[in-house]
Amino acid sequence: MRTYLHTKRTIYRSTERVTTLFWKKFECEICRQGLPLSIQVNDKAVSLVKIEEHLQEIQTPNYLILESLMHQGVGVTQRLIHIVKPQEIDEFSLGRGEGHDLLLNDITSSDIHAFLYFKEGTWTLEDNDSKYGTTVLMNSKMLIDLNYEKSIQVGRSIINLCMEPKEKQEEKKEIDDSLK
């Protein structure tokens, strides 16, 4: 399944700071059901997407992987994965308009919807007074810590935020390698 999905992936954009991977259809080719990003194998989560090649080039342990699953009609799914690689102090814009670091393909997203800030090893997400907001419960900045996992809604798109220690990533890689 991983190999099949890898062949369906395109690199939408790749810069020094952000790599965006895109799947037009992230679904089973037989039943047309949307697929999850990971499955359980022997009580361990195994990713269905191959992003290891993009993680090897990252020089900092402070990167983020943002996952966005978009639905456009019955039975049609798309998936975007943004790998965010910050400099020492960095700012990333999220929005519907062209030229943003993280492009949101969602009509309910604002042109400049939100900002992600990285400073002194800490990530902060801030809504930019967008029309539909970034989350229902978010009225101010949200801190993203190590071992923190949170799903946020931006317009109609759901983005999963997760920051894991390097050791946990290496453990997942060993599990993935054992399944090959």
Residue located via tokens 């990252």: 58
Residue 180 lies in a domain: no
Spatial separation of the C-alpha atoms in residues 106 and 86, rounded to whole Å? 25
Q: Give the pLDDT confidence score for residue 134 in this predicted structure.
A: 66
CATH number at residue 84: 2.60.200.20
| Two structure tokens written together for 35 | 């697929």
Residue 24 lies in a domain: yes
Residue 41 lies in a domain: yes
94 closest CA partner among 58, 71, 64: 64
Contact 87, 98 (CB under 8 A): no
Q: Does this model's pTM top 0.75?
A: no
If you average pLDDT over residues 12-28, what whole number do you get?
Answer: 84
More confident residue, 97 or 19: 19
Residue 170 CB: number of other CB atoms within 10 A? 9
pLDDT digits (tens, 9 = 90+) for 51-85: 777 777 776 677 888 877 555 555 557 788 888 88
Write out the DSSP string of the chain.
-HHHHHHTEEEEEE-SSEEEEEES--B-TTT--B--SEEEETTEEEESS--HHHHHT---S--EEEEEEEE-STT-EEEEEEEE---SEEEEEEESSTT-SEE---TTS-TT-EEEEEETTEEEEEE-S-SS-S-TT-SS-EEE-TTEEEEEEETTEEEEEEE--HHHHHHHHHHHHHT-
Tally of domains within the chain: 1
Average confidence score pLDDT of the chain: 76
Residue 179 lies in a domain: no
User: Which amino acid makes up residue 3?
Assistant: T
Q: Give the pLDDT confidence score for residue 137 in this predicted structure.
A: 45
Q: Residues 6 or more apart from 73 whose CB is under 8 A from it?
A: none
- What range does the domain containing 15 cover? 2-171
If you average pLDDT over residues 19-41, what whole number do you get?
Answer: 82
Q: Give the pLDDT confidence score for residue 69 in this predicted structure.
A: 59
Q: Give the pLDDT confidence score for residue 92 in this predicted structure.
A: 92
pLDDT digits (tens, 9 = 90+) for 118-168: 888 888 888 888 877 665 344 566 666 666 667 777 666 777 777 666 666
Residue 176 lies in a domain: no
Contact 101, 20 (CB under 8 A): no
Residue 178 lies in a domain: no
Q: In angstroms, how far is CA 86 from the centroid of its own chain?
A: 14
